[in-house]
Amino acid sequence: MIRKYTFGTPLPTGAVVQPVPAESGDVPFFSLSREEKKIIFTISMAPDEVLFGLGESVRGMNKRGFFYRSWNSDVFNHTESTESLYGSHNLLVFFSPSRLFGVYLDDPGTVTWDLGYTRSDTAVITSENGDLDLYIIEEESLTALARAFRQLTGRSYLPPRWAFGYIQSRWGYASEAEIRTVTSEHRKRHIPLDGVCMDIDYMVDFRNFTWKPDAFPDLKAFSEALKKDHLRLIPIIDAGIPVAPGFPPYESGREADVFCKKEDGSDFVAAVWPGRCVFPDFLREDARTWFGDQYRPLLEAGIEGFWNDMNEPALFYSDEGVADAFSRVEELRNGETDYESMWWLKDAFNGIANNMDDYRRFYHRIGNTSVRHDRVHNLYGAGMTRATAEGFRRYDPSKRFLLFSRSSFIGAHRNGGIWQGDNFSWWSHLKMALQMLPNLNLCGFLYTGCDLGGFGCNVTEDLLERFLQLGVFTPLMRNHSALHTREQEIYRFSSWEMMRDTVTVRYALLPFLYSEFMKAALTDGMYFRPLAFDYPDDPRAVRTEDQVMLGEGCMIAPVLEQNATGRYVYLPEDMLMVRFRSAADYDVIPMDQGDHRIDIALNEFPLFVKKNHPLLLCGGGESSETLDDRHFTVLCRMDREVAYDLYRDDGTAPDPDLARGLTRMTLSPGLAQASSIPGVAISDILL
């Protein structure tokens, strides 16, 4: 059951697709207060209440105990104290033995979430603007609640199947020759690969929709040649359009008048990678259409996937901000300096990027009204994603394109995936990536993953290997790193064979993982879930923070610590452990419910599978397009007849039919009885 309550005059966000009539009574569960225009929702929490949701945010799967702020931020250096990341996902689920409900704030401005931070027994949710639709969702189970929320906000984005392959990326690849080195190093060593990302260096002066003519003399021929080798190019596009007279997107955008405005009606200008930029008003349909059409030259060059970046939007500085910082400096030039003024001096320039004053300097047009950016800030990235997805549909409605964005808002999950932003090569960020996955899924973002190896800082071999082991299971499996950091392609390391073997597991599992993903997406379900969703009555499972359910029957428990040669794993029920070293080399060990200390050497990683749920491994291959998805080895701990519906399709149809894609396989109990591992069927099947 979903109930809606409207406060003030909410602006349209496009997040909700299922109309719900607004109620007039009191909001259940919460007490309500107001402070100027703010609306504050307060609720007390029992000690055993856990909180799920808030999608992309730091810390644990259970969000209780910290303070979060919905304000999409470009936060290169984020740590566990960071209140806001790149996306705002305002769904929070309260779960205890005595109550279960979700609250969703459809509010594009700042929302704060004091979740037992000020008082451990109280949650306080504050809408700064006070204009919002609030939804209360009540269902019988966590799974049903997640499904009801997805039905409210719409089906998750479906990427093409090739987007489940391994993708290599690095800020710095600047030419066809460099990309060819990357692809040939992978192919030569049989490291499976499906795509290479092109970061800003492919562009002329970092200008969107251009490519360097000398470095990419014939982009179409290059992309077509790579496609013959089952490889795709995935270029980056940033939000800002450089202020450059004569540059066609700048000129045509000016002519169509699609850029965000300052109060005086002139275009708002702030610097990003290309220098001074203007910003498409993605909240307007005409601006979205204009922007979506700009991808055309790249699409015509055969590109089938993009990543959209800097769309919080990130603002390095504005002329006004720089002038302001200089005037603060001038004030100090002849004055006394003490430590306080020196801090002030330092901060004058430190705070110049992504400055609140800049976010208050520009306006969007919604209908006939002009709305100051900070009121709708969190919609900007979602608008860019929508503009891009709509552009793809206009260009070729017959296929799915890969699209993932940095910034997002609920609603954007219908149009694209997201990556988890600029993480670091830190063990703590490996854990954070794992813990974010189920909450992102709850909020609708199924196609996601982190920068494997870490974006900032220098990775170590063991950390990259452990990141890859997590990446085997994330829909987006991309190794990405920043300019000037240690080169982090697998083939750079002495232990590249170990890492290659890890990637081979992804390819052996790819048809199965794709099937699990598509079934989740097409039934408004979750691919990753907290254990609480499957074991709500098991307090140990409910509190487990470093293991995650995957698909219908699996659980992952990655090693998250440096130098660890194993870890403790809690099994909420009897399971089968498959401890992988490569696609062809793994242990199959039935394990009973309870706590286990498991040896997991650096080159190993376990996958746990529930009883009577099969795991399917195909023969593997070096690209998603060359896999054999008819012959499988099936592993299944079982004590009855088992059926599994494998979902397969052409990997590109935009509106796939779930029922038509399913192939049923059945396993008879005799298979497990006759097996060399009692109770575990290990058999080859042909579908």
* Binding region for ligand GLC (CB under 6 A): 171, 199-200, 236, 309, 406, 422, 455, 480
- For ligand GLC, the closer of residues 447 and 586 by Cβ is 447
| Residue nearer to ligand GLC on the CB measure, 281 or 451 | 451
Where do we find the tokens 């002495």?
Answer: 494
Instruction: Indicate the residue among 171 and 395 with the shorter CB distance to ligand GLC.
Output: 171
Q: Which residues contact 475 (CB under 8 A, 6 or more apart)?
A: 159, 163, 164, 417, 446, 447, 448, 449, 513, 517, 527
- The string of DSSP letters for 559-617 reads --STT-SEEEEEESS-EEEEEESSSS-EEEEEE-SEEEEEE--TT-EEEEEETT--EEE
Closer to ligand GLC by Cβ: residue 198 or 434: 198
Which CB sits closer to ligand GLC, 68 or 455? 455
Taking the complex as a whole, the smallest distance from the CB of residue 218 to ligand GLC amounts, in Å, to 24
List beta partners, residue 364: 371
When the beta carbons of 146 and 418 are compared against ligand GLC, the nearer one is 418
Smallest separation (angstroms) from ligand GLC to the CB of 487: 14
Q: How far is the CB of 176 from ligand GLC (least distance, A)?
A: 19
Q: Torsions phi, psi of 282, nearest 5?
A: -65, -10
Question: Shortest distance, CB of residue 476 to ligand GLC, whole angstroms?
Answer: 13
Nearer to ligand GLC (CB atom), residue 312 or residue 501: 312
- Minimum Å gap between C-beta 306 and ligand GLC is 13
Q: How far is the CB of 62 from ligand GLC (least distance, A)?
A: 27
**What is the DSSP annotation of 37-51?**
TEEEEEEE--TT-EE
DSSP 357-408: HHHTSEEEEETTEEEEHHHHGGGHHHHHHHHHHHHHHHH-TTS--EEEESSE
Q: Which residue is nearest to ligand GLC (CB)?
A: 171
Distance of alpha carbon 255 from alpha carbon 257, whole angstroms: 5
- DSSP assignment of 69-86 equals EE-----TT--TT-S--S
Q: Is 457 exposed, middle or buried (0-12, 13-18, 19+ CB in 10 A)?
A: middle
- Contact predicate 566/599, CB 8 Å: yes
Name the 3-class secondary structure at 233. Answer: strand
Tokens representing residue 202 in the block: 């492919």
The C-alpha atoms of residue 309 and residue 195 are separated, in whole angstroms, by: 18
**Matching residue, tokens 């003399």:** 217
Exposure string (b/e) for 481-500, b if CB count within 10 Å is 16 or more?
A: bbeebbebbbbebeebbbbb
Tokens 């002519």 belong to which residue? Answer: 255
* 215 versus 550: smaller Cβ distance to ligand GLC: 215
Exposed / middle / buried, residue 88 (Cβ in 10 Å: 0-12, 13-18, 19+): buried
Please tell me the distance from the alpha carbon of residue 467 to that of residue 579, in angstroms, as a whole number.
16
Q: Give the shortest CB-406-to-ligand GLC separation in angstroms.
A: 5
**Given the complex with ligand GLC, which of 199 and 534 has the nearer CB atom?**
199
The smaller minimum CB distance to ligand GLC, of residues 54 and 239, is found at: 239
Q: Which is nearer to ligand GLC, 425 or 504 (CB)?
A: 425
* Exposure letters 170-197 (e unless 16+ CB within 10 A, then b): bbebbebebbeebbebbbeeebbbbbbb
For the chain, helix (H) and strand (E) counts, in that order, are 17, 40
CB of 270 to ligand GLC, least distance (A): 16
**Interacting residues of 304 by C-beta distance below 8 A, sequence separation 6+:** 160, 162, 232, 399, 401, 402
Name, in order, each residue with C-beta under 8 angstroms of 202's C-beta and a sequence gap of 6 or more.
173, 174, 211, 212, 215, 216, 235, 236
Closer of 412 and 571 to ligand GLC (Cβ): 412
Give the contacts of 346 (CB within 8 A, at least 6 positions apart): none
Tokens of 88: 């705002």
Tell me the DSSP string of 125-165.
EEESS--EEEEEE--SSHHHHHHHHHHHH-PPP---GGGGS
Cβ-based nearer residue to ligand GLC, 236 or 642: 236
Closest among 378, 365, 414, 379 to 393, alpha carbons compared: 414
Beta strand 631-637 with 594-599: parallel, antiparallel or unpaired? unpaired
DSSP, collapsed to helix, strand or coil, labels residue 666 as strand
Task: Give least dist CB 464 to ligand GLC, A.
Answer: 17
What kind and span of H or E run contains 643?
strand 642-647
Minimal distance, residue 273 CB to ligand GLC, in Å: 7
**CA-CA-CA-CA torsion sign (5, 143, 443, 126):** positive
Closer to ligand GLC by Cβ: residue 478 or 613: 478
Q: Which residue, 199 or 461, is less far from ligand GLC as judged by CB? A: 199
Tell me how far, at minimum, the Cβ of 171 lies from ligand GLC, in Å: 4
Strand partners, 369: 366
Least distance CB 422 / ligand GLC (angstroms): 5
Least Å from the CB of residue 633 to ligand GLC: 37
Give the CA dihedral 180, 476, 171, 485, nearest 10 degrees: -110
In the complex with ligand GLC, the residue whose CB is nearer, 200 or 667, is 200
Q: How far is the CB of 207 from ligand GLC (least distance, A)?
A: 13
Q: How far is the CB of 310 from ligand GLC (least distance, A)?
A: 6
Find the shortest distance in angstroms from Cβ 77 to ligand GLC. 11
Q: Indicate the residue among 13 and 311 with the shorter CB distance to ligand GLC.
A: 311
CB of 479 to ligand GLC, least distance (A): 12
